[in-house]
Structure 1
Amino acid sequence: MIRDVLENSLNLPSNPSLKELFNEKLQEYGLSKTQFEKLANIQRRSLDGILDKTSKQTDVSNILKLSEFLDMPFDILLAYHLKDRSVEEIKDLQDSIEITFINRYFDLKTLALLGFIDKKFTVNELKKRICEFFKLSSIYEYGDELNEVLYSRTKRSFNDKMKDFWIKSSYKYFELIDNQNDYSREALKDLIPKIKPYTQNVDNGLLTVCRALYNVGVTIVFQPMVPKTQIRGATFLVNNKPCIVVTDLNKSYPTIWFSLLHELHHVLFDLEQLKQTRYHLTGEPDLFLIHEDKANQFASEYLISEEKMRYIEPLIHNHYMVDKFAKEIQIHPSIVYSQFQFRQAEIGNNYWGAFKEHFPVIDSLQANLNMSNWDVESLELAAQKIKELFTA
């Protein structure tokens, strides 16, 4: 509201002044200034401070009384009062508006933990960081520019600030990457059967697959999981082209590949619904559940069929046999163990802590994929780097 009042104050005519409007009303009611002061219980000094714009602070109760007397909406009278006020007072109000806006849309504590901001930032430093990162001319664009695109069919909740930040930054990131390759569903169908062997190359396999997918119009980015969310992956439709985010949730190498195949199922079969919702999150509650079971089944069957899992399960504690089996079906052994863990969890057995020594560390994978972390200077620069990486 204060933001609107300040904007209105800039557009008010110079004449008549608030003092002139007050005097006209006194004449209309046949009252003297002293009579009004007694009736409204306003001291002369306070009234003159409002009318002459000499008061150092705005007394809201007196503004309300004057609003009733002048038969003028409170926000309009406040705009009259603020017009031509001191630079210091206006700046204080603007700072108050801006920090309120920032606190409403951003989880500053979590963003500081991520390294996106410094917890000692001033209001101006916060504004600069947000605007430079998202390539905005004003912080208020953050609340306006993507809302119609991303939230026209869903209910936004300001309790989900980090999820909102993640969604908006991901969407903006894909807009800036702007994959120029046309999306071809047929080319994607031809490519998917060729993906599996690359799971065996921990350092560069995912990068190779991401480059191939980029060439058929599907943009993949790999990002850190954002605190206060459980997003495993997401599929966006940006400029009518499919875009996928895979996160490092649980830091699990097999989960990364499973998530990629899960999201590719959405690209193949759910694009029509994505045209309406614009994005789909995997791992978070979603009002538009887009065939999650089918996507999970697709990813599982693609990596290891039900028949093959039944064969290897009795031998799961024999690493030599698991390793030999994984090579035969051209996947990384950790994927076999991971699938076993999930299957056991479904029947109430907990194997999540088992086989850790056979799961690769994903540090090199993360480094090679040039992740867009939150300490980058801007999404524009991050987008340029990922384009260079995928087209090298």
Structure 2
Amino acid sequence: MTSTYFPTEHNVDWATAPGSVLQRELDARGISQAQLAARSGLSTKHINLVIKGHAAISADVAVTLEQVLEVPAETWLRIEAKHQAHHARLARDLTLDHLAEWVSEFPMTDLVERSIVARDDTIATIAKKLLRFFGVASPAAFTKTWLEPQASYKRAQKFTIDRYAIAVWLRLSEVEATKVVATAPQYDPRALEAAVKPIANATIKPLLAAFEEAQRILLSAGVALVYVPEIKATRINGVSRWVQGHPTIALTSRYRYLDVFWFTLMHEIGHVLLHPKRGTYVDYTGKADDDADSQEAAANTFAESALLPREYRAQVASATTAETIIQIAASVGVDPGIIAGQHGHLAGKWNGPIGRLRVRGDLEDAARVTN
């Protein structure tokens, strides 16, 4: 028996009820509901309920229709499933209009600038896009997944931060990391430890070139390094976390000083090496009292040693001229601004000729100029 109506699946309008598709098929074949009932062994009442959309096409009914109409059971079931999913989405969308208060918590300017939402989107559309962006089904699920873990983030308590903005930044960093880890080998802590010195030596290069080299070196150790521009009120310098089984480090250009940028990277590498089972994210602002947190203090010590070996610390602390700092930087093999930053930390002096060695820069600006 050949169908004269049945559409190919890619032309099926999933908003159309499966029963309507069945009725059109019967009309095309000149078969009445009563005749279908007689041929199928199904009751006329049940067929009428299916056609009117009051009863779903079950697996048994689909197999029966396959036998009688020679339309595969899988086709009927896909039409039924997709039709139900379509209407479930419509029903869910009706609830999204009531999420205006939740939507208002997010940094809308940043969401628009980063193409997460559009400026002229309705509240319902924004809510739908946000839920999809964060990979959650509801605001309650968003809170549990993205806000509650922030209680254990490390940050300077004197700063006011926006938890929703932090969630956006963390998700953006996760998205970027997912692109990188797709080609990453298995994480190798020994390779990561060996990567520290080459990364420190790369700091003498222009910022973008140095960052890309650090990315390549870390990726060979199974670690993803990404850059995500800061979102206002997050006050994040860097975060280390695990994404798809790989350690991931995400950085911003907060403070715009390259010594802070490279110190943050080494700080997060320290966390990955020293605290591999740590499940929290770290917000290193550069001004927090990290001594109150043993893991933060350990990561700071690691970063200091990675950029300035201990045998040079006394000499750096007592330095009085920029020339001395430049000479020490050449001996260590890092950018002089990094040593100048360590001098400021050790001696408490951030101005003058030595302070002017600290270079300001923004990775986003560097990439824009290069491109």
TM-score exceeds 0.5: yes
Query: Judging changes above 3 Å, is the alpha-carbon distance between structure 1 residues 352 and 296 closer, same or farther for their aligned structure 2 residues?
Result: farther
- The alpha-carbon deviation at position 360 of structure 1 amounts to 3.1
Is 1:282 matched with 2:293? no
Partner AA of 1:99 in structure 2: A
- The alpha-carbon deviation at position 295 of structure 1 amounts to 0.9
With the length of structure 1 as denominator, give the TM-score of the two structures.
0.57
* 2:104 alignment partner, SS class: helix
Q: Which residue of 1 aligns with 2:301?
A: 297
Query: Judging changes above 3 Å, is the alpha-carbon distance between structure 1 residues 159 and 267 closer, same or farther for their aligned structure 2 residues?
Result: closer
CA distance in 1, matches of 2:92, 2:225: 43
* 2:283 alignment partner, SS class: strand
- The alpha-carbon deviation at position 99 of structure 1 amounts to 2.0
Query: Judging changes above 3 Å, is the alpha-carbon distance between structure 1 residues 155 and 190 closer, same or farther for their aligned structure 2 residues?
Result: closer
Q: 8 Å contact 1:171–1:236 — kept in the other structure?
A: no
Q: 8 Å contact 1:235–1:245 — kept in the other structure?
A: yes
- The alpha-carbon deviation at position 340 of structure 1 amounts to 1.1
Which stretch shows the higher mean deviation, 249-258 or 173-182?
A: 173-182
- The structure whose RCO (Cα within 8 Å, separation 6+) is larger is 1
Identical pairs, percent: 19
Q: Which residue of 2 aligns with 1:308?
A: 312
Alignment partner for residue 208 of structure 1, among 204, 213, 231? 213
Q: 8 Å contact 1:222–1:369 — kept in the other structure?
A: no
- The alpha-carbon deviation at position 191 of structure 1 amounts to 2.0
Query: Judging changes above 3 Å, is the alpha-carbon distance between structure 1 residues 201 and 365 closer, same or farther for their aligned structure 2 residues?
Result: farther
Q: 5+ residue gaps in structure 2?
A: 1-90, 154-160
- The alpha-carbon deviation at position 92 of structure 1 amounts to 11
Q: Which residue of 1 aligns with 2:344?
A: 341
Q: How many residues align?
A: 268
Alignment partner for residue 275 of structure 2, among 264, 270, 274? 270
What does 1:10-21 align with in structure 2 at a 5 Å threshold? none
* 1:97 alignment partner, SS class: coil
CA distance in 2, matches of 1:169, 1:264: 20
Tell me the alpha carbon deviations over residues 89-145 of structure 1, each in whole angstroms, 9 at most, x when there is no partner: x999746413233124x233665688866666532563576467x286xx8457637
Tell me the alpha carbon deviations over residues 193-238 of structure 1, each in whole angstroms, 9 at most, x when there is no partner: 3222111112412210111101211001122222112212111112
- The alpha-carbon deviation at position 343 of structure 1 amounts to 1.6
CA distance in 1, matches of 2:350, 2:251: 24
CA distance in 2, matches of 1:235, 1:168: 13
Is 1:122 matched with 2:109? no
- The alpha-carbon deviation at position 184 of structure 1 amounts to 0.6
With the length of structure 2 as denominator, give the TM-score of the two structures.
0.60
Q: Which residue of 1 aligns with 2:141?
A: 144
Is 1:218 matched with 2:223? yes
Query: Judging changes above 3 Å, is the alpha-carbon distance between structure 1 residues 302 and 122 closer, same or farther for their aligned structure 2 residues?
Result: same
What does 1:381-392 align with in structure 2 at a 5 Å threshold? none
* 1:338 alignment partner, SS class: helix
CA distance in 2, matches of 1:113, 1:365: 14
Query: Judging changes above 3 Å, is the alpha-carbon distance between structure 1 residues 298 and 225 closer, same or farther for their aligned structure 2 residues?
Result: same
What does 1:143-222 align with in structure 2 at a 5 Å threshold? 144=141, 147-148=144-145, 151=148, 154=151, 160-179=163-182, 180-203=184-207, 204-222=209-227
- The alpha-carbon deviation at position 325 of structure 1 amounts to 2.5
Query: Judging changes above 3 Å, is the alpha-carbon distance between structure 1 residues 246 and 110 closer, same or farther for their aligned structure 2 residues?
Result: closer
Query: Judging changes above 3 Å, is the alpha-carbon distance between structure 1 residues 321 and 131 closer, same or farther for their aligned structure 2 residues?
Result: same
Alignment partner for residue 331 of structure 1, among 310, 330, 334? 334
Partner AA of 1:193 in structure 2: K
Q: 8 Å contact 1:253–1:359 — kept in the other structure?
A: yes
Q: Which residue of 2 aligns with 1:238?
A: 243
CA distance in 2, matches of 1:305, 1:205: 20
- The alpha-carbon deviation at position 260 of structure 1 amounts to 0.7
RMSD: 3.9
